[in-house]
Structure 1
Amino acid sequence: MKKSIFIALALLFNFQVKAQDSKISTEVKEYIQSRVDNQMNVGIVVGYINGDTIEYYSLGKTAMENGVAVNEASVFEIGSISKTFTATLLALKVNSGEMNLDDPISKYLPKAVKGPTRNGKEITLKHLATHTSGLPKLPDNLESRNPKNPYVDYTYKDLYNYISNHELKVDIGSVSEYSNVGMGLLGHILELQSGKTYEELVIEYIANPLQMNDTRLVFNEAMKNRLAKGHEGLLETENWDIITLGGAGGIRSTASDMVKYIQANINSESIDSKLHNAMSLAHKSAYKNEEQRTEMALAWHIENGKFLLHNGATGGYSAMIALEKSGKRGVIVLTNSNQSIDPIGIKIMMPTYPLKPILPSIAKVLEKEIIDNGVEKAIVFYKSIKTEKPNDYNFQVEELNALGYKFLAEGKKEIALALFKLNVAEFPNESNPYDSLGEAYFEIRNQELAVKNYKKSLELNPGNDNARDFLKRLNVEVKEVVVSKEMLLSYTGKYELAPTFKIVITTKEGRLFAQATGQPQFELFPSDYNKFYLKVVEARVQFYANDKGNIESMTLFQNGEVIPGKKVE
């Protein structure tokens, strides 16, 4: 299951700045070593620019099985970092007078396509570029025949149907809500305006001028030969071919090319004047919401008024880019794993940020036990070592999950089933183990238990679209909950979960929002009349009334923790 990872990045650039080293520190290199050694990431490549100094650091392989060493020429998917390319292309068109940020999208769409409006207001190009269009993260007609490559068969006809029929639930321009479909639409509008494909635009206006010869949407032969294969957990997975929504996340690149891109962004006066001016426009603050604690340039997220940053994730890759123009510094971190590498980039840019030690993987130890002694004895071993040495290994939920999928891919279904059952027993309040167990039961043709576990997964995390889609495919009814405005209003107020940590609940236009201390505001979605979930992270909240029917408390469920809070205002 994929999670939105940007929120974790955006909240971490709040550490004190101190004098910066011109080199990647030994601490960062040792941290990268521990991540690779303990199978969190298969390969990691870092490019760091500090003034005129450029340094690369690479570790790991292009594939878990039979891979070669990764380096700055290895090819990765950069996911949503592609959005910053889209913003630069838009800025080029704006500066040339061909387009205007305030142009409505209807100016460029085919006449048969009716763009969504709300209260007489139209979506503009600026709204798309700042995630303030009111469009959601993904289109609801994205129903891929291949979950491992979910965008490959999404067509322009699908996009047009979605745009023509979507009803906005929030006023345009009122809030920032991260939208892949919005940025993908912007990329397509650039295609319609220019008569060129999005890839052709990227190559002509950015890649060729900066000599980024390995930055493309479609692999050429040279890129294929240097591809770092994507991995989901311990397993190789398919590349994501994103064409229709390419402006949202379709680009593949290398650390070497991305260093050139960073240099152009932080030293833009040294490049072609048109590209320089476009990058400067894309960097300017274009939307700020104090209530949400959000500031956006065009596609770029602005943190602390000085950092420009973005990250990206596809099925088997994660990436992160950050710039500090005033200090002429920047970093790109790429990995061929779906484990976020944001802490690496943050640590390089903010040396005071504490890196959490990486414990040895219990999955590696357990796999050997299974091979040597069988799964039943290995499970006994796992339970004993977790009891006797709980701090010696990484026992997080992802460990058993990844190992289970490895055995499932090898056709060893009974071993995988036993590991998924163990994971459910060890983490009964986590959604993902039930999702995986459901998949294993489906693989052995036990539809009844597959449905039961997918339902439980969805109950624990109503934002689990994988479970929702699976149940719908089996014609199992999935309840959609609507909560009245009056009931939503009763939940508003401030809840104290700790002396220094509070959550403020507000409502707007029939939608409920939560804002924790020091964090942006996020929407809550109902799974029951008093139960809600977030889509940006796997978390739930539940509200409780006293015997008089007045709401007096709430509980936050996240990362296996149950945190109650009293209503104080």
Structure 2
Amino acid sequence: MKKIIVLFSVLTFCFVSNAQQNTIPKALKEHVISRIDNQVNVGIVVGFIDGDTVEYFSSGNTALKNGTPVNEDSVFEIGSISKVFTTTLLALKVNDGSMRLEDPISKYLPKSVKVPTRNGKEITLFHLATHTSGLPRMPDNWTPANPDNPFADYTYKNLYSFISNYTLTHDIGVNNEYSNLGMGLLGHILELQSGKTYEQLVIDHIANPLQMNDTRLVLTKSMKKRLAKGHAGLLETSNWDIITLGGAGGIRSTVSDMTKFIQANINCNTIDSPLHKAMSLTHQSAYKSDTQKTEMGLAWHIENGRFLMHNGATGGYSAMSALDKEAKKGVIVLTNSNQNVDAIAIKLMVPNYPLKPIKPSIAKILDKQIQDNGIEKAVLFYKKTKAEQLDAFNFDVEELNTLGYQYLAKERLDIALQVFKLNVEAFPEASNPYDSYGEALLINGDTNEAIKNYKKSLVLNPGNDNAKDVLKKLNVEIKEVTVSNEILERYVGKYQLAPTFFITITTKDGHLYLQATGQAQFELFPTDNTKFYLKVVDAKVEFMTNNDTIVERLTLYQNGQVLPGKKVE
């Protein structure tokens, strides 16, 4: 089964050096090239800003198959960097007096929408712009019909329904809890206040004044011709059409355009225009927590008191931006891969930041072995190399999985079968290799073996709906486990997994739900009376008792981690 990431991500980093450079160093260019050569990324474009000058560097292609070299005019999805566009639009409204940061969001939403409150306090525009609203990262009624384009069918009706029925679990304005939902809602509020679409607001107030002609939510004909196709690993993915929550991550742009945006932010204190004044407002420290080690402007993350940054990711793209107004330096890095490129940007802003060496892709080396010596000898080579040189190459589970699908695309089923089989042998406790091997076996007409592998994948990851769907189509009965309401009620409570991280378990209409600190609520599905799994991520939960009735703790299994949590409420 092909995999993609399905959420935006924002990480903050510690910028600790004031050292600067005026050009992109040769060593960093070699690092970027090594990422491409070793199949970590498909294409990367860097824009480095020093005062009024901009230097570009690019490596890789718009696609692995029939692609052209990427450059500063190639079009990428910028993901969550869209959020600083959203708060810039808000700042424009604040500065012209048409909106106030202190305004409750209920002022702008339809009267039919019931906005949640907590302890008599209302969510304001300020709370949305600083991720302090108490709203979760994503709404729990986000159930995409097409996982490859997961936001396309999320409607304003869905958004209103979630807001109206959500109960806040944290006090408003206290903690910084990153929320795509909140920033997407802010973008929609700007639409309602102005009577224009979010995209038109971006075009009218940011893109046109800065001559950013390739910055849009909907691709123009010209942009389509220069689109760098997104990739999950080395497999092409669909673009994400994010409209309802467009303010959270729906913008597409180029490095050429984004350098104009970064330059405008760098120079905002010295240029007298409404746009530049709005940018200046977004840079001011609006939230700071020593406990969380977090400082924010409006959407911008502030590091070391002077660096502003924001990154982003969608299903097939990653992006990173950073700037230092005092030094008049800035950087934008875009890639058409879901492999993070934050380190490249940080290295340009902080020259003594250590870059991890890129390990050569074992898939690329194995591919050459297959072509030169045949699949049988290549399999032996893989096993010998992994046993003797494990640290010398990238042996991640998706390496072989990606290679297998490359051979499927080439209609070399014989080789794909051997590669998928090798991956199952190499990672016997991972669900996805069995799913992919099952797919190839089914194509080969080996239905019985395909069923065995799909079943094994389902045992390892009960949330693998793809395996369930295939097995149902093959008329294989999937046993549905039910747990009595009496047993479910025993699990209700609050479990502490870390000093500030809790999981709250609730029930409703015979179903069990999990909500982690700062996240949306998701349903848990049973595999037996004590073991449950999530469908939104590959994760499992097991409840432990000291006898048949008293539940003392739970254990969360996710990403190879085993996280126990004691029941505290």
| TM-score of Structure 1 vs Structure 2, range by shorter chain | 0.7 to 0.9
Shift of 1:47: 0.5
Structure 1 unaligned blocks of 5 or more: 493-502, 515-520
The equivalences for 1:532-543 within 5 A come to none
Q: Which sits farther off after the overlay, 271-280 or 521-530?
A: 521-530
Tell me which amino acid in the other structure corresponds to 2:312. Answer: G
The 8 Å contact of residues 533 and 539 in structure 1, kept in 2 or not, is answered as yes
For residues 105-128 of structure 1, what are the alpha-carbon distances to aligned partners after superposition, in whole Å with 9 as ceiling and x for unaligned?
221112222223334433221221
For residue 395 of structure 2, what is the aligned residue in structure 1? 395
Shift of 1:513: 7.6
For residue 518 of structure 1, what is the aligned residue in structure 2? none
For residue 55 of structure 1, what is the aligned residue in structure 2? 55
Shift of 1:175: 2.4
The 8 Å contact of residues 139 and 520 in structure 2, kept in 1 or not, is answered as no
Cα distance in 2 for residues equivalent to 1:66 and 1:143: 34
Shift of 1:535: 12
For residue 222 of structure 1, what is the aligned residue in structure 2? 222
Shift of 1:76: 0.9
Tell me which amino acid in the other structure corresponds to 1:13. Answer: C
Shift of 1:418: 4.5
The 8 Å contact of residues 130 and 176 in structure 2, kept in 1 or not, is answered as yes
Question: SS state of the match for residue 365, structure 2?
Answer: helix
Shift of 1:538: 8.3
Cα distance in 2 for residues equivalent to 1:374 and 1:483: 58
Cα distance in 1 for residues equivalent to 2:460 and 2:218: 36
The equivalences for 1:311-390 within 5 A come to 311-371=311-371, 375-390=375-390
Tell me which amino acid in the other structure corresponds to 2:344. Answer: I
Shift of 1:403: 1.5
Shift of 1:537: 10
For residue 107 of structure 2, what is the aligned residue in structure 1? 107
Question: SS state of the match for residue 392, structure 2?
Answer: coil
For residue 13 of structure 1, what is the aligned residue in structure 2? 14
Shift of 1:441: 7.2
Shift of 1:352: 1.6
The 8 Å contact of residues 6 and 315 in structure 2, kept in 1 or not, is answered as no
- Work out whether 1:2 is the aligned partner of 2:5: yes
The equivalences for 1:78-89 within 5 A come to 78-89=78-89
For residue 511 of structure 2, what is the aligned residue in structure 1? none
Cα distance in 1 for residues equivalent to 2:215 and 2:135: 28
For residue 264 of structure 2, what is the aligned residue in structure 1? 264
Q: What TM-score does the superposition give when structure 2 sets the normalisation length?
A: 0.81
For residue 248 of structure 2, what is the aligned residue in structure 1? 248
For residues 130-178 of structure 1, what are the alpha-carbon distances to aligned partners after superposition, in whole Å with 9 as ceiling and x for unaligned?
2222222222222333222122222222222222223333332232222
The 8 Å contact of residues 457 and 467 in structure 1, kept in 2 or not, is answered as no
Cα distance in 1 for residues equivalent to 2:98 and 2:68: 46
Cα distance in 2 for residues equivalent to 1:465 and 1:139: 20
Residues 507/66 of structure 1: CA separation in 2 closer, same or farther (3 Å cut): closer
For residue 517 of structure 1, what is the aligned residue in structure 2? none
Residues 471/24 of structure 1: CA separation in 2 closer, same or farther (3 Å cut): farther
The 8 Å contact of residues 9 and 313 in structure 2, kept in 1 or not, is answered as no
Tell me which amino acid in the other structure corresponds to 1:141. Answer: N
Residues 287/361 of structure 1: CA separation in 2 closer, same or farther (3 Å cut): same
Cα distance in 1 for residues equivalent to 2:18 and 2:530: 46
Tell me which amino acid in the other structure corresponds to 1:426. Answer: A
Residues 88/175 of structure 1: CA separation in 2 closer, same or farther (3 Å cut): same
For residue 279 of structure 2, what is the aligned residue in structure 1? 279
Question: SS state of the match for residue 33, structure 1?
Answer: helix
For residue 143 of structure 2, what is the aligned residue in structure 1? 143
Residues 130/419 of structure 1: CA separation in 2 closer, same or farther (3 Å cut): farther
Residues 270/504 of structure 1: CA separation in 2 closer, same or farther (3 Å cut): same
Shift of 1:85: 0.2
Question: SS state of the match for residue 269, structure 1?
Answer: coil
The equivalences for 1:340-489 within 5 A come to 340-371=340-371, 375-410=375-410, 415-416=415-416, 418-430=418-430, 433=433, 436=436, 449=452, 452-458=455-461, 488=494
For residue 121 of structure 2, what is the aligned residue in structure 1? 121
For residues 345-402 of structure 1, what are the alpha-carbon distances to aligned partners after superposition, in whole Å with 9 as ceiling and x for unaligned?
1111111211111122111122234455554543332112212332332212231122
Residues 546/300 of structure 1: CA separation in 2 closer, same or farther (3 Å cut): same
Cα distance in 2 for residues equivalent to 1:383 and 1:244: 48
Residues 286/433 of structure 1: CA separation in 2 closer, same or farther (3 Å cut): farther
For residue 28 of structure 1, what is the aligned residue in structure 2? 28
The 8 Å contact of residues 264 and 270 in structure 1, kept in 2 or not, is answered as no
- Work out whether 1:304 is the aligned partner of 2:304: yes
Shift of 1:202: 0.3
Tell me which amino acid in the other structure corresponds to 2:129. Answer: A
Cα distance in 2 for residues equivalent to 1:552 and 1:112: 42
Tell me which amino acid in the other structure corresponds to 2:14. Answer: F
The 8 Å contact of residues 408 and 416 in structure 2, kept in 1 or not, is answered as yes
Tell me which amino acid in the other structure corresponds to 1:2. Answer: I
The 8 Å contact of residues 103 and 125 in structure 2, kept in 1 or not, is answered as yes
The 8 Å contact of residues 522 and 534 in structure 1, kept in 2 or not, is answered as no
Residues 555/113 of structure 1: CA separation in 2 closer, same or farther (3 Å cut): closer
For residue 194 of structure 1, what is the aligned residue in structure 2? 194
Question: SS state of the match for residue 339, structure 2?
Answer: coil
For residue 97 of structure 1, what is the aligned residue in structure 2? 97
The 8 Å contact of residues 104 and 123 in structure 1, kept in 2 or not, is answered as yes
For residues 425-465 of structure 1, what are the alpha-carbon distances to aligned partners after superposition, in whole Å with 9 as ceiling and x for unaligned?
32345565466557667877778557645544547xx8x99
For residues 159-207 of structure 1, what are the alpha-carbon distances to aligned partners after superposition, in whole Å with 9 as ceiling and x for unaligned?
2222222333333223222222221111111111101111110011001
The 8 Å contact of residues 4 and 536 in structure 1, kept in 2 or not, is answered as no
The 8 Å contact of residues 505 and 513 in structure 1, kept in 2 or not, is answered as no
For residue 211 of structure 1, what is the aligned residue in structure 2? 211
Question: SS state of the match for residue 345, structure 1?
Answer: helix
Cα distance in 2 for residues equivalent to 1:536 and 1:448: 23
Q: Which sits farther off after the overlay, 218-227 or 285-294?
A: 285-294
Shift of 1:34: 0.3
Shift of 1:216: 0.9
Tell me which amino acid in the other structure corresponds to 1:355. Answer: L
Question: SS state of the match for residue 292, structure 2?
Answer: coil
Shift of 1:424: 4.1
For residue 231 of structure 2, what is the aligned residue in structure 1? 231
Cα distance in 2 for residues equivalent to 1:436 and 1:479: 29
Cα distance in 2 for residues equivalent to 1:243 and 1:472: 34
Shift of 1:320: 0.5
The 8 Å contact of residues 230 and 237 in structure 1, kept in 2 or not, is answered as yes
Tell me which amino acid in the other structure corresponds to 1:214. Answer: D
For residue 181 of structure 1, what is the aligned residue in structure 2? 181
Cα distance in 2 for residues equivalent to 1:479 and 1:261: 54
Residues 205/505 of structure 1: CA separation in 2 closer, same or farther (3 Å cut): closer
Cα distance in 2 for residues equivalent to 1:319 and 1:264: 19
For residue 133 of structure 1, what is the aligned residue in structure 2? 133
Residues 146/533 of structure 1: CA separation in 2 closer, same or farther (3 Å cut): closer
Paired residues, number: 542
Shift of 1:404: 2.7
Cα distance in 1 for residues equivalent to 2:277 and 2:79: 25
Shift of 1:83: 0.7
Q: What TM-score does the superposition give when structure 1 sets the normalisation length?
A: 0.81
Residues 83/472 of structure 1: CA separation in 2 closer, same or farther (3 Å cut): farther
The 8 Å contact of residues 136 and 181 in structure 1, kept in 2 or not, is answered as yes
Residues 307/442 of structure 1: CA separation in 2 closer, same or farther (3 Å cut): farther
